[in-house]
């Protein structure tokens, strides 16, 4: 799959979104890309829909595009992180666009985003302005584009909570200037491959990695006798918070992230929680989320803090962190006591592995605790 950009979409029962998403990709003004769809054992016909409707001949006939789509189907749900790692290993493009199936791109999205990331070789990731899209008439699967912001990059608070810049606000051009941000939402983010290679973390004898494919990448990077396979997204996370974790690791290695608002896209986020919501509304929004999301979100949030944070920064912001954790624990204890116990046990069970990852990450950090602390609001 040799092209300037590899566009990766991990699907899990995403059929209702795929036509709008893929059509918007093949209508891009910049056409030097290939598309890789990785299906995590969907049972709604997602994989067959892609294979039957996006052959090279149909893409050329309908869109006038010579770009190609490749599809891979996993026998079981490997999770978002491992499936994305599959794609990174299988491709060799200069840039990788990770996007959700429920994202629709404006025609000049790729062109504007590539201009942004190529403007400086130290930019490791770039994202556009994401606006919300909502469902209209259910019978015709109508999707209505709105002027409500979904994300203009990621912010990290002193409590170590990640929120999307501008989420829930009306688009009043406040975020229309190209800006360096802490990171980019994993819903739609363009990575420089050299940056991903720089921040990958070795896996030692992990049953979760893909030994043949990962070994190929490890051999190219470290030599034929390399004892490690590598992960880009943390595969132990399975799903949720993995984009925050990767953004943090990029920052620690000195890579910049930019929001380029000229690149515009729309995102259907049924379970999103705005950073602007008050405490009561935030709690209500959490109550509407599936319990599995709360489980992964809480556990992974603890893991990414443990893996990436400097001890001195934890100490300086300890009261913010403890207050936020206390609220989360109280919420889980009273609303989802089983989840509270399971997520806590899983967190502690994974600590030995997270400690090894932390030792590797912090040892290789290129910026100081003071520099990273400037990003914590």
Judged against a pLDDT cut of 70, whether residue 319 lies above it is answered with: yes
Lowest average pLDDT, out of 90-94, 138-142, 194-198, goes to: 138-142
For 242-282, what is each residue's pLDDT tens digit? 999 999 999 999 999 999 999 999 999 754 444 444 444 44
- Between 269 and 76, residue with greater pLDDT: 76
Which token pair is 188? 């739609």
Determine which helix (DSSP H) or strand (DSSP E) holds 372, and give its type and residue range.
helix 369-373
Q: What is the pTM of this model?
A: 0.88
For 10-63, what is each residue's pLDDT tens digit? 999 999 999 999 999 999 999 999 999 999 999 999 999 999 999 999 999 999
pLDDT at 278: 45
- CA dist list (Å): 181 to 40, 105, 124, 255, 304: 31, 21, 12, 11, 18
Task: Give the residue carrying structure tokens 């925050």.
Answer: 244
Taking the C-alpha atoms of residue 133 and residue 328, their distance in angstroms, rounded to an integer, is 29
For 104-134, what is each residue's pLDDT tens digit? 999 999 999 999 999 999 999 999 999 999 8
What is the separation of C-alpha 191 from the centre of its chain, rounded to a whole number of angstroms?
10
pLDDT at 139: 63
- Between 25 and 223, residue with greater pLDDT: 25
- Between 215 and 16, residue with greater pLDDT: 16
Taking the C-alpha atoms of residue 345 and residue 339, their distance in angstroms, rounded to an integer, is 10
- Between 332 and 197, residue with greater pLDDT: 197
Q: What is the mean pLDDT of residues 145-165?
A: 96
What are the residues whose beta carbons fall under 8 Å from the beta carbon of 318, sequence distance 6 or more? none
Per DSSP, 366 falls in state: -
- CA dist list (Å): 11 to 28, 61, 72, 212: 21, 25, 10, 23
- Between 134 and 314, residue with greater pLDDT: 314
- CA dist list (Å): 233 to 74, 196, 199, 371: 18, 9, 10, 24
What does the domain layout of the chain look like in residue ranges? 5-272
Q: What is the mean pLDDT of residues 228-237?
A: 89
Task: Give the residue carrying structure tokens 């893991």.
Answer: 303
Q: Contact, 45 vs 73, CB < 8 A?
A: no
- 37, 26, 24, 134: which is closest to 83 by C-alpha? 37
- Spell out where 26-136 has E strands: 33-39, 68-73, 95-99, 103-105, 123-135
Judged against a pLDDT cut of 90, whether residue 3 lies above it is answered with: no
Per DSSP, 288 falls in state: T
Taking the C-alpha atoms of residue 371 and residue 377, their distance in angstroms, rounded to an integer, is 13
Q: Domain 5-272 has what CATH class?
A: alpha beta
What are the residues whose beta carbons fall under 8 Å from the beta carbon of 149, sequence distance 6 or more? 129, 130, 131, 132, 164, 166, 167, 168, 169, 170, 171, 175
Neighbours of 34 (CB within 10 A): 18
Q: In degrees, to the nearest 5, what angle opens at C-alpha 295 toward C-alphas 169 and 300?
A: 75
Taking the C-alpha atoms of residue 313 and residue 320, their distance in angstroms, rounded to an integer, is 11
SS3 363: helix
Q: Contact, 373 vs 316, CB < 8 A?
A: yes
In whole angstroms, how large is the CA radius of gyration of the chain? 20
Judged against a pLDDT cut of 60, whether residue 93 lies above it is answered with: yes
- Categorize the per-residue pLDDT at 293 as very low, low, confident or very high, splitting at 50, 70 and 90: confident
pLDDT at 1: 59
């Amino acid at each position: 799959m040799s092209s300037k950009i590899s566009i990766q979409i991990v699907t899990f029962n995403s059929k209702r979104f795929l036509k709008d998403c893929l059509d918007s990709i093949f209508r891009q003004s910049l056409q030097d890309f290939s598309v890789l769809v990785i299906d995590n054992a969907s049972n709604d016909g997602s994989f067959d829909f892609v294979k039957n409707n996006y052959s090279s001949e149909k893409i050329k006939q309908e869109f006038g595009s010579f770009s190609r789509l490749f599809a891979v189907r996993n026998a079981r749900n490997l999770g978002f992180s491992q499936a994305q790692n599959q794609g990174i290993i299988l491709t060799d493009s200069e840039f990788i666009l990770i996007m959700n199936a429920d994202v629709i791109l404006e025609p000049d999205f790729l062109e504007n985003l590539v201009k942004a990331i190529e403007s400086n070789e130290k930019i490791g990731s770039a994202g556009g302005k994401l606006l919300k899209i909502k469902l209209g008439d259910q019978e015709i699967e109508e999707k209505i584009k709105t002027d409500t912001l979904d994300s203009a990059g990621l912010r990290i608070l002193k409590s170590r909570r990640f929120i999307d810049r501008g989420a829930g606000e009306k688009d009043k051009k406040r975020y229309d200037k190209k800006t360096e941000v802490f990171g980019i939402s994993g819903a739609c983010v363009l990575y420089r491959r050299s940056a991903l290679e720089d921040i990958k973390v070795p896996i030692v004898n992990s049953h979760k990695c893909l030994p043949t494919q990962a070994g190929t990448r490890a051999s190219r990077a470290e030599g034929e006798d390399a004892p490690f396979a590598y992960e880009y997204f943390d595969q132990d996370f399975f799903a949720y918070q993995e984009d925050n974790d990767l953004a943090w690791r990029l920052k620690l290695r000195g890579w910049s992230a930019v929001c380029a608002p000229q690149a515009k896209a729309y995102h259907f986020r049924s379970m999103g929680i705005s950073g602007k919501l008050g405490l009561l509304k935030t709690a209500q929004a959490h109550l509407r989320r599936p319990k599995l999301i709360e489980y992964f979100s809480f556990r992974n949030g603890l893991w990414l803090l443990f893996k990436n944070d400097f001890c001195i920064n934890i100490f300086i912001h300890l009261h913010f962190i403890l207050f936020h954790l206390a609220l989360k624990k109280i919420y889980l204890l009273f609303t989802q006591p089983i989840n509270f116990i399971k997520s806590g046990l899983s967190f502690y069970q994974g600590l030995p592995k997270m400690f090894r990852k932390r030792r590797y990450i912090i040892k290789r950090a290129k910026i100081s605790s003071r520099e990273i602390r400037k990003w914590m609001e």
